[in-house]
Amino acid sequence: MSQTLPLDHEHLQKLVTSDLVRPDQMLGAHQVTENGVAGVRFGVWAPNAQHVSMVGDFNGWNGFDNAMQRLDFGFWSAFVPAALHGQRYKYRVTGASGLTEDKMDPYGTFFEVRPSTSSIVWDQPYDWQDGAWMQARTQNFDRPVSVYEVHAPSWAKRDDGWFLNYRDFAHRLGEYASYMGYTHVELLGVMEHPFDGSWGYQVTGYYAPTSRMGSPEDFKYLVDHLHGLNIGVILDWVPGHFPTDVAGLANFDGGPLFEYADPRKGYHNDWNTLIFDYGRNEVVMFLVGSALKWLQDFHVDGLRVDAVASMLYLDFSRTEWIPNIHGGRENLEAIAFLKRLNEVTHHLAPGCMIIAEESTSFPGVTTPSPHGLGFDYKWAMGWMNDTLRYFEEDPLWRKYHHHALTFFNAYRTSENYVLAISHDEVVHLKKSLVAKMPGDWYMQRANYRAFLAMMWTTPGKKLLFMGQEFAQPTEWNHDAGLPWHLADVPDHRGIMNLVRRLNALYVGRADWHAGDTLDEGLQWISADDVENSVYAYIRRDPGSGAWSLVVANMTPVYRDLYPVGVPEAGDYRVLLSTDDGEYGGFGTQQPDLTAKAEGWNGQSHHLRLSLPPTSVLVLELVQDEDAKAAAVPTTKAAPKKAVEIEAMLPKSLQVTSIEPV
C-alpha cells in the first residue's frame, strides 16, 4: 500500500514550492484512522472554488453531509468515517461563478469503467516477486532493447468481445513476447481515459490503470509476470495535453486550473484538448508525481513521453500564438518541466528509461540536464520517415533516392535513438507496413523482409508495433483483435520467423547493439552504388572488435558474383538471408565464401556474392565454430509447430471469461 503523508501546512507548502514530488501520497483518497475512527481522508486542490463537498456511495451522493474544509494554498480536505474501500466518489465543486459540477479525483487510483466516471476508493497491497529485476535494471545504453509495442485492448479480446483481464493478458503476451525474442513491451495508453478511440492518449486518470482490463493489482501482476520472464515494461505517458471532458481536469474549480488560461497557449485545436500550465508548481508536481507513481509503485521500467514537440513549441500547429519572454517560440516552462521530470525520475527510480517522442531537431534531447532535456532516448522520426519513403518507392526509381538510407549515419550519434515503427505508421489510411511496399504480394513481402533486416542492423534500439511482426496486411483497428489466424499462414509465418531470427541475432551479438551511439558502431563499405541500389556496411562492437557484414540489394534484380570488400582474409558464412525459404524467399545459395586476396571498396580483401532480388545478407568471418554457435541463439534449431503457436496466441476460445470490473 502507498505511503500517506499528513495534509498539513508544511507538506502543502512543499507542494506549492515544487518540493513534494509525490503529491498523491497526500492528496486524493487515503484510508486512515483519525482519533481511533477508521475512514477515508480526501484531499483536493481547488483554489478558486467557493465550496467543495464529497459525494459518493457513503452518503447517498448527498452534497450536504460531507463538506470539505478549506486549507492553506487553495487545498481542501474532508475525513469521511463512513467511506469504505471499493466505494465510488466524486468531488462536488462550486466554482467562482456559482456553477456546481461533480469532478473525478485527479489523484484517483481506480475508476469506474467508461462511460461512468466515478472515482473508487482503492489502495490494496500487492506482494511483488521482482526484487532481483528491480535491482538490476538499467537504461540499457550498451544492451539490446527490442520493443514490442502493444495496444492492450485490441491485442486480443475475449470471446464475448470484452477486454482481456490484465492477468490473462500477462500470460498470453509474456509467452508470445518471449517466443519472439523481444526484450521489452511498450503499452499504448493504459492510463484511465474516457474514449476508446483516443487509444488512451486523452487521459483523465494519471494515477490509475484503466479499469477496462481489471484492478490496479491486476495491472501490477502483469508487470510482475513480465519481469519474471525477463521482459521490461514501458508505458506511453501523456503530459502534453488532456481532454475537455467536464468530469475530468478541465476547468476543475470553475475555471482554468490545470490548463493555461489563454487558449492561444492552453488549447490544442488539432486534438480538442487542453494543455497543462507548466508555470504552476502544483501542475508540475501533479505530472512528476504521476511519472513516479508508475515507475515506483507499479515497477514500470520506462515511460515514452508522447508528443514532446507539442510541448516544446508555443507555435506548434498554430497560426496565433504567444511568444516567450525573449520573443521566441520555445515554451520555456515546458522545457524546465521536462528537465525537472528527468532529473527526479532518474534520481528516485534508478535504471528507468525515459524516452521522448520528439519529431523536430530540438538540440540535446538526450543530453543530461541542465545542458539538455535529460531524456535517455529519442524516437528516430527522421530515420523512420526517410526509410519508409525509400521503401515505398518503385525499385526502378530508388537510385534517385539512394542516400535516404545513408543519411541517418550523418547524425545518428547526436542522440540516443530508438528506431520506432509505431502504431502511428499503420493507421489513418497510411496502410500496414507490408501494404506500403511496392509490387505484387511476393515482392511486397520481399521488400518488407529487407526493410526489417535493414532496421535491425541499423544502429539504434528497436520498436515494432503489434501485427507487423507477422505482416498484418490491413491497417490496425483498435476496435478489433489482431488477425491471429494469419500467423498460421506460411506467407505470414515466414515474416514472424524472420523477426524471431533478427531478435535472436540482435540480442546475441554485441556488434548489433553495443556501438549504437559510437562512430565505430557502423562502417560503410559501399554507400554509393546508386545504379545497382546496393549497400554494404559493417556492424562492429568497439569493445570486443566483433563484427558482421551487411549487404543489401534493393532492386528485384539477381546480382551474380557481386564484389564486396571485407577487412580480413578467411572463410565467411551467412548468418542471415532474408531470401531464405524459412522466411518466404527463394532460398538462393551462396558460392564460395572464401575472401579473395584482392582489395575492394578500400578493404584488403573481397567476397563475390550472389545477391538475391530485394534482399539483405548478413555474413561473419568463420572463427571458433563452437564459440560462435554458443554465442548466437538460432531460431532454426527449435521452431515451434503451428499447434504450439496456436496454444500461446490469444484465440478467443482459449480466453478465460472474466467479468468486467
Residue 660 confidence (pLDDT) above 90: no
How many helices and strands in the chain, by DSSP H and E?
15, 28
Please, which residues bridge with residue 233 across strands?
185
pLDDT of 657 strictly over 70: no
What is the pLDDT, as a whole number, of residue 173? 97
User: Mean pLDDT lowest for which of 498-507, 538-547, 624-633?
Assistant: 624-633
Over 80: is that where the pLDDT of 636 sits? Answer: no
Q: Looking at this protein, which amino acid is placed at residue 349?
A: A
Q: Which of 253, 277, 301, 357 is catalytic?
A: 357
Q: Which residue has the cell 468486467?
A: 660
Check residue 441 and give its pLDDT.
97
Better-scored residue on pLDDT, 113 or 647: 113
**What is the rounded CA–CA span in Å between residue 445 and residue 153?**
28
Q: Which pLDDT score, from 0 to 100, does residue 2 have?
A: 74
The half-sphere exposure of 360 on its side-chain side, counting CA atoms within 13 A, is 13
Tell me which of 644 and 415 has the higher pLDDT.
415
pLDDT mean over 31-60: 96
Instruction: Write down the pTM of the prediction.
Output: 0.93
Cβ pair 166, 213 in contact under 8 A: yes
Give CA separation, 46 vs 98, 334, 402, in Å: 14, 22, 58
- Helices 490-508 and 441-457 pack at an angle, to 10 degrees, of 10
Please confirm, yes or no, whether 306 is among the known catalytic residues.
Answer: yes
What is the model's pLDDT at position 285?
A: 98
**pLDDT tens column, 166-199:** 999 999 999 999 999 999 999 998 999 999 889 9
What confidence score (pLDDT) does residue 656 get?
Answer: 32
Task: Look at residue 634 and tell me whether its pLDDT is greater than 60.
Answer: no
Phi, psi of 158 (to 5 degrees): -70, 165
Contact 495, 470 (CB under 8 A): yes
Q: What is the DSSP string of 537-583?
A: EEEE-TTT--EEEEEEE-SS--EEEEEEEESS-SBEEEEEETT-GGG
Pairing verdict, β 184-187 and 242-243: unpaired
Q: Which of 24, 224, 297, 306 is catalytic?
A: 306
302 neighbors 223 (Cβ within 8 angstroms) = no
Averaged pLDDT, 121-137: 96
> Can you tell me the distance from the alpha carbon of 386 to that of 531, in angstroms, rounded to the nearest whole number?
19
Largest CA distance in the chain: 92
- Cis link prior to 243 (omega < 30° from 0)? no
| Whole-number CA gyration radius for the chain | 27
Mean pLDDT across 226-244: 97
Residue 632 has pLDDT above 60, yes or no: no
Tens digits of per-residue pLDDT, 248-292? 999 999 999 999 999 999 999 999 999 999 999 999 999 999 999
Q: Output the pLDDT for position 649.
A: 58
Task: Please measure the distance between the N-terminal and C-terminal CA atoms of the chain and give it in whole angstroms.
Answer: 20
Query: What pLDDT digit, counting tens, does each position of 350-391 carry?
Result: 999 999 999 999 999 999 998 999 999 999 999 999 999 999
Handedness of CA 322, 328, 330, 332 (dihedral sign): negative
580 in catalytic set: no
pLDDT in tens, 270-280: 999 999 999 99
pLDDT digits (tens, 9 = 90+) for 10-27: 999 999 999 999 999 999
> Does the N-terminal peptide bond of residue 370 adopt cis geometry, omega within 30 degrees of 0?
yes
105 touches 54 (CB < 8 A): no
Give the count of beta carbons closer than 10 Å to the beta carbon of residue 631: 12
Tell me the torsion sign for CA atoms 572, 574, 575, 576: positive
User: Is the separation of the CB atoms in 116 and 660 below 8 Å?
Assistant: no
Residue owning grid cell 563499405: 525
Cell numbers standing for residue 10: 508544511
User: If you average pLDDT over residues 306-334, what whole number do you get?
Assistant: 95
Determine the distance from the C-alpha atom of residue 212 to the mean position of all C-alpha atoms in its chain, rounded to a whole number: 20
**And the C-alpha cell for 385?**
520517415
Strand partners for 355: 304, 377
Order of strands, edge to edge, in the sheet holding 75-80?
A: 28-34, 37-45, 75-80, 69-70
CB 106 within 8 A of CB 76: no
The angle formed by the CA atoms of residues 211, 214 and 219, to the nearest 5 degrees, is 100
**Phi, psi angles (nearest 5°) of residue 491:** -60, -35
User: Which one, of 194, 259, 151, lies nearest residue 475 by Cα?
Assistant: 151
Pairing state between β 232-237 and 184-187: parallel
640 band by pLDDT with thresholds 50, 70 and 90: low
> Using an 8 Å Cβ cutoff, are 199 and 188 in contact?
yes
Q: Average pLDDT in the 536-540 region?
A: 98
Burial class (CB in 10 A: 0-12, 13-18, 19+), 47: middle
Across 462-476, average pLDDT: 97
Model confidence at 629, in pLDDT bands (50, 70, 90)?
A: low
Instruction: Rounding to the nearest 10 degrees, give the CA dihedral for residues 201, 206, 210, 211.
Output: -150
| Residue 49 pLDDT exceeds 90 | yes
| Beta bridge partners of residue 205, listed in sequence order | 192
The rounded mean pLDDT for the chain is: 93
Say how far apart CA 594 and CA 622 lie, in whole Å: 10
